[in-house]
Structure 1
Amino acid sequence: MKYTQLFLSTLVATALVSCKEEPAETPKVTYDAAKVEKPAPKVDTAQIEVADLPIHIPGTNYLIHPVGDLNIYGSSKPKYDASSAAATTASFQISNYDEGEITGYLRNLKFQQIGTDSIVALSDKPLLIQSVKFLKTVAEKTKQQIIVYTLADMDTNQDGKLDVNDIKSLYLSEMGGAKLTKMSADMQELIDWNLIESQNRLYFRTIEDTNKNGEFDKNDVVHYHYIDLLGDWKVLDYKPI
């Protein structure tokens, strides 16, 4: 009888565990009228900001310094002397570079014109830059040097921080960071973008949470846009479906 009771207790406990709800994914959009005027997310002062060594994209006259957060493993108080190396592992690499594209989770980019010592930040506002793409073929054909960014610039889920759980947006700038301009609409998630070289157009898609459920799903509306890169970067809509 004792073993039977133990077996039944185990079954009940297992059932309770199996019925436990999994934690919900962090939404990318939170709607709260009381927080409409919520200020921009503050910089996390607990993070240590570092820059990768500069990157030079061939054909340009700038060095690019990626800036991000130092990742520390094994200790909450990082030290940089040799005696602490065994206890603390620090990842100083914050970005990856390949053929004109920089990827990572970057807090800023800083541009330095070759031949000068002046270093200029892309933005003075909180950002989380996930990819930076230099449009090499456009530059070769038109002499216009344009950079495409995918980044988060708003705390759309209102959790007080800017991270990958916030909406991703599309930006353009000139090489050197000038004319930084947002192309996608606020509160619309960037799906993807594509350069059509023959037309010097950049096409992109966004999705809007039209039913206001805090998720991007099949019930929401996809928007289609393109930009004439040789013009004034005006975003134009088109309707393929």
Structure 2
Amino acid sequence: MKKHFNKTVFILCIGLLFMSCDTEQKTTVAINDTVESAEDFTIKKDSTAIKVLKLPVHIDSTQYLYHAIAIKRVAIDDDFSISKSRYGSYGAASTSYNNYTFSGEYAGFIVEDIQTGNKINVINEEITITSATIYNKLENNPRVEFVLYKGHNLDTNKDKKLNHNDLSALFISDLDGSNFTKLTEDFEEFNGQRFIVENDKLYFQTQKDVNGNGIFDSSDNYRNYVVDLTAPVKKAVRYDEQLMNITKQ
């Protein structure tokens, strides 16, 4: 009986050890307040990503074709040999396009104007896009058109690849693929957005790991931003502090 009890305790300890290791691996932030530049967290090439050009998609009511560049993931063993490959986001079977949204893992997009023949390479940096949603006049707002991208451009956990273990960021471009811009601040985790048609503005929220412990918890703060989509240059302006001050009056 005692021998069986000791064996059970040993198994539980081993299980807790693995759980602890797994939690540590999922840490998404390897930064603190001493970090001065995002350049330390950019990578020239994600060695686990192979870029594959998908067949084009025509965006309804526009003159644009979107040529998506999907990411084919390869798993690397400890000896850096390729062991297997897979398409899609976080091991999913495939990338997809549905209801004006690309989902999966993408390295970028090439937008082709079928009337003029002009082509624009939307993204000119190493980045992983997990979704791209097209807001055109037919489906959304007759006054503004734009594309929102969610993804990762900083290797915030320092594992030399860009995936869901890194901080999420929000980007925007014009419908023709020009003026690709990052809206979220570096080292802030993107939490969600809302497009208000009535005032042509985009609102989104982030969270920052202010204590530098690599975990988002109650000690970290949330930040709210607004973007005027009618402006020629899309810029995120923080507004939560101003509104919260009203509650203190």
Fold similarity call, TM over 0.5: yes
State the SS of the aligned residue for 2:204.
Answer: strand
Rate the CA distance shift 1:95–1:27 in 2: closer, same or farther, 3 A: same
Distance, in Å, in 1 between the alignment partners of 2:131 and 2:86 is: 23
Q: Where do residues 80-159 of structure 1 align in structure 2 (5 Å cutoff)?
A: 94-115=94-115, 119-137=119-137, 140-142=141-143, 144-159=144-159
Distance, in Å, in 2 between the alignment partners of 1:221 and 1:77 is: 41
CA displacement, residues 44-102 of structure 1 (integer Å, 9 cap, x when unaligned): 456432122111111222111111223689xx688xxxxxxxxxx97597421122111
CA contact (8 A) 2:87 2:95 kept: no
Rate the CA distance shift 1:34–1:71 in 2: closer, same or farther, 3 A: closer
CA contact (8 A) 1:66 1:95 kept: no
State the SS of the aligned residue for 2:142.
Answer: helix
Rate the CA distance shift 1:118–1:229 in 2: closer, same or farther, 3 A: closer
Q: Which has the larger radius of gyration?
A: 1
Q: Paired residue for 1:66, among 65, 68, 79?
A: 68
CA displacement, residues 132-167 of structure 1 (integer Å, 9 cap, x when unaligned): 11112487411x421111111111111211111111
CA contact (8 A) 2:129 2:150 kept: yes
Rate the CA distance shift 1:77–1:9 in 2: closer, same or farther, 3 A: closer
TM-score normalized by the length of structure 1: 0.80
Unpaired runs of 5+ in structure 2? 76-81, 245-249
Aligned to 2:229: 229
Distance, in Å, in 1 between the alignment partners of 2:29 and 2:57 is: 34
Aligned to 2:79: none
Rate the CA distance shift 1:227–1:165 in 2: closer, same or farther, 3 A: same
Distance, in Å, in 2 between the alignment partners of 1:42 and 1:203 is: 31
Unpaired runs of 5+ in structure 1? 1-6, 79-88
Distance, in Å, in 2 between the alignment partners of 1:229 and 1:117 is: 27
Rate the CA distance shift 1:131–1:206 in 2: closer, same or farther, 3 A: same
Q: What is the aligned-residue identity percentage?
A: 24
Aligned to 1:205: 205
Aligned-residue CA RMSD (Å): 2.9
- In the alignment of these two chains, the number of paired residues is 222
Distance, in Å, in 1 between the alignment partners of 2:108 and 2:205 is: 24
Distance, in Å, in 1 between the alignment partners of 2:57 and 2:187 is: 32
Q: Where do residues 16-95 of structure 1 align in structure 2 (5 Å cutoff)?
A: 16-20=10-14, 21=17, 22=19, 23=21, 24=23, 25-31=25-31, 38=40, 40-45=42-47, 47-70=49-72, 94-95=94-95
Give 1:229 shift.
0.4
Counterpart of 1:10, as a letter, is H
CA contact (8 A) 2:128 2:162 kept: yes
TM-score normalized by the length of structure 2: 0.78
Moved more, 202-211 or 9-18: 9-18
Give 1:9 shift.
2.7
Distance, in Å, in 2 between the alignment partners of 1:107 and 1:55 is: 16
Give 1:34 shift.
9.4
